[in-house]
Structure 1
Amino acid sequence: MAGRTLIRAGFLFCVVVGLGLPAPLWAKDVPLIQVAPGVYVRPGVMQDATAANDDAIANIGFIVGHDAVAVIDPGGSAGDGARLRAQIRATTRLPIRYLIYTHVHPDHVLGAVAFAEDHPLVVAHARFAAAWAERGAYYRQGLARILGGDPAQAGGALPPTQAVDTTADIDLGGRVLHLAAYGAAHTDSDLTVYDGQTRTLWAGDLLFQGRIPALDGSLTGWLTVLGQLKALPAVRVVPGHGPAQLPWPAGAADEERYLTTLARDVRALLKNGGDIDAAATTVARSERGRWKLFDAYNGRNAITAFKQLEWEDPS
């Protein structure tokens, strides 16, 4: 596994150096991609977090309306967030009025400190605050240790000022974004953003492409949510990891196949009396050549799925 990681209670959280180090050379050269009019994505690298990539591993970006800007995931470190903010300011002088978290994982959150001076309204899933209260200090402490003990360089979250428990709309001026909160899926705090003007769905980590999905919520819930997302009238999607955009709903196919295989193989193992150790080494092996970081994550996914599905009614 590339980089250093922290593991707690079965969750994998990536942490790396932040604003205190010079921007990595690659980061200076990663341009924004305008996937639709006014919709900008900064693609993340298909790696685990390292000092060299500054935890800029997630797809992050922003949407511009007539009156204001909404940031969708501010990045994985203080430096990552600062670079995104500079790209926004190079694109538009409109105020950064909203900052939206698609879920609680640090590669999508820790860059928020770079936007403190903008005083944005911070929008998140209704369960985000509790999840961050449980995990946030752990993230920052781990990152501070890597940085030599300075918590200020670790980045951090801005506290949510608007919680979404079902749906909500935000108006950027002539452009209304529709936000939807979901039950446990990738995490228990997943939130999507839909821009009806361009029919663009921002899925966060409810969608992975190329990099193996990481299960930190509910396997069956994730498959259910994918079905709900596929019913939306979107024509393109911004995944949390992978290319800047994919066609929708066709872009769900690879992840849906992986998650379905994970569930099928675990159920078959349980039916045949297999144990959790066998799950870690045998489940979903047919997917191995199709995903980056497969060996780093698939065993954990299989163990998590086993723990969830072993209590399922086999009938």
Structure 2
Amino acid sequence: MFEAVLTLCLAGAEAECRSVLLPGYEAATMADCTAMLADTAPDLDVFGADVIAPGAPRCQPAGPVLDLQEIAPRLWVHKGAIAEPDRVNGGDVSNIAVVIGDASVAVIDTGSARWMGESLWRAVRARTKLPVSHVILTHMHPDHVFGASVFDGARVVGHAGLARALADRQANYLESLASLIGADRLIGTAPPDIDLAIDGKMEIDLGGRVLELSTWPTAHTGNDLTVVDRVSGTLLAGDLVFDGHIPALDGSVTGWQAVLEQMAGQPPVRVVPGHGGPVLPWPAGGAATARYLGVLAADTRAAIADGLRLGAAVERIAQGERDYWQLFDAFNARNATVAYTELEWE
């Protein structure tokens, strides 16, 4: 298989370059790919003024394909590393799902950068020629959203509060990612535009495959969204459920507890968490997240009742959970700070 690419370099730093995929020009032969480029020129304005192209688009053998595991018929999941983004993993640290219907395809989350969206695009194309009709984003965090721009022509779907949340944070997210994974790995990456904002519930029909989307009150974040694939009985929970990776609180600990309790009554039999897994039984698969949040809340209330100031409280809160989670030191202090700030005013 061959594909069209364009070399892009950071403006003012021409040594930092990357070959960016131009989706839609895949062909079995180099000649066919080149003919497609000659017939229909790609729109290169989408990459903006921060990069320059030292050459014209060209065809080459297809690049790396994201690893996907089929956990149910025509439901594929990629398991990201349980790690913080770095130059080795390139930001591949969260789970991604692909659901294939009879008429079209939905992608749930897209990774930290365009290079991940490109690898995901190739993985979809390796399995079906059906169009990707929807890209569903479960919440605002960068490891879930920044590969979305690869799927030009798909409707990008998210919580009604997602666009505003991204607008407020996207500059900081991209700056932080550049320092963690390298500016060259981010070349071509752009914040997603939300085409369909949801408040409540809606259904997406992929052709014989209905996905039920639900938005939630403030929990993990202020813009959490889940997907239920009715055919397979699978809940795609985003970061409302963690496995192995310590939960990361960027919203409300009490809100998250309430949402998990409500979700536990839903009919799915399995869950894909935002990190870990990649597939767990439901509702048992949410028990560890619920336990951690319970300890976090209880320890925070106890620290406040004992009159501890924030700095001292953070050193004590949820320490009994340390042995159950990876990345505990990277996230627990932040979680404790968020919980303390919320619960001191109860």
Which string of whole-angstrom CA distances, capped at 9 and with x for unpartnered residues, describes residues 48-105 of structure 1?
0011101010000210000000000011111111111111110111100000000000
Q: Which among 209, 234, 248 is matched to residue 214 of structure 1? A: 248
Q: Is the 8 A contact 2:65 2:123 kept in 1?
A: no
Q: Is the 8 A contact 2:86 2:181 kept in 1?
A: no
Q: 1:206-250: per-residue Cα shift (whole Å, max 9, x none)?
A: 010100000000000000000111010010000000011000000
CA distance in 1, matches of 2:323, 2:179: 35
- Runs of 5+ consecutive residues of structure 2 not aligned to the other structure: 1-15, 21-62
Shift of 1:31: 2.8
2:116 to 73, 76, 80: 80
Partner of 1:15: none
Say which of 89, 100, 103 aligns to 1:67.
103
For the Cα contact (< 8 Å) 2:18–2:185, is it kept in 1?
no
Question: Residues of 1 paired with 2:17 and 2:121: CA distance?
Answer: 13
Aligned to 2:145: 109
Corresponding residue number in structure 2 for 1:194: 228
Distance 1:147 1:76, change over 3 A: closer
Q: Is the contact made by 1:140 and 1:154 (CA closer than 8 Å) also made in structure 2?
A: no
Residue deviations 1:238-284, cap 9 Å, x none? 00000110000000111111000000001111111111112211100
Specify which of 172, 175, 179 is matched with residue 209 of structure 2.
175
1:93 paired with 2:129, answer: yes
Aligned to 1:20: 18
Question: Is the alpha carbon distance of 1:290 and 1:144 closer, same or farther for their aligned partners in structure 2, counting shifts above 3 Å?
Answer: closer
Aligned partner (choices 105, 129, 133) of residue 163 of structure 2: 129
The one of the two structures with greater contact order (alpha-carbon pairs below 8 A, sep at least 6) is 1
Q: How much does 1:148 deviate?
A: 7.0
Q: Which structure has the larger Rg?
A: 2
Paired position in structure 2 for 1:11? none
Change (3 A) 1:93 1:291: same
For structure 1, the 5+ residue unaligned runs are 1-17
Task: Say which of 287, 294, 307 aligns to 1:273.
Answer: 307
Question: Per-residue displacement from partner, 1:31-59 (whole Å, max 9, x unpaired)?
Answer: 31111111110100011001110101000
Correspondence 1:156 to 2:158 = no
Q: Name the amino acid aligned to 1:113.
A: S
Change (3 A) 1:200 1:296: same
Provide the C-alpha distance between the structure 2 equivalents of 1:259 and 1:229, rounded to a whole number of angstroms.
15
Alignment length, in residue pairs? Answer: 289
Instruction: Mark the CA change 1:193 to 1:245 in structure 2 (over 3 Å): closer, same or farther.
Output: same
More strand by percentage: 2
Shift of 1:29: 8.4
Give the Cα–Cα distance (whole angstroms) in 2 for the partners of residues 147 and 248 of structure 1. Answer: 34
TM-score of the superposed pair, with normalisation by structure 2:
0.80
| Identical-pair percentage | 45
Alignment partner of 2:328 out of 289, 294, 298: 294
Q: What secondary structure sits across from 1:194 in the alignment? A: strand
Is contact 2:121-2:150 (8 Å) kept?
yes
Change (3 A) 1:197 1:301: same
**Equivalent position SS for 2:217:** coil
- 3-state DSSP of counterpart to 2:208: coil
User: What is the TM-score when the length of structure 1 is the normalising length?
Assistant: 0.87
1:221 match: secondary structure: helix
1:144-197 per-residue CA deviation (whole Å, 9 max, x = no partner) reads 466776796162232111111101111100111000001100000100000111
In structure 2, the residue matched to 1:229 is 263
SS of 1:240's equivalent in the other structure is strand
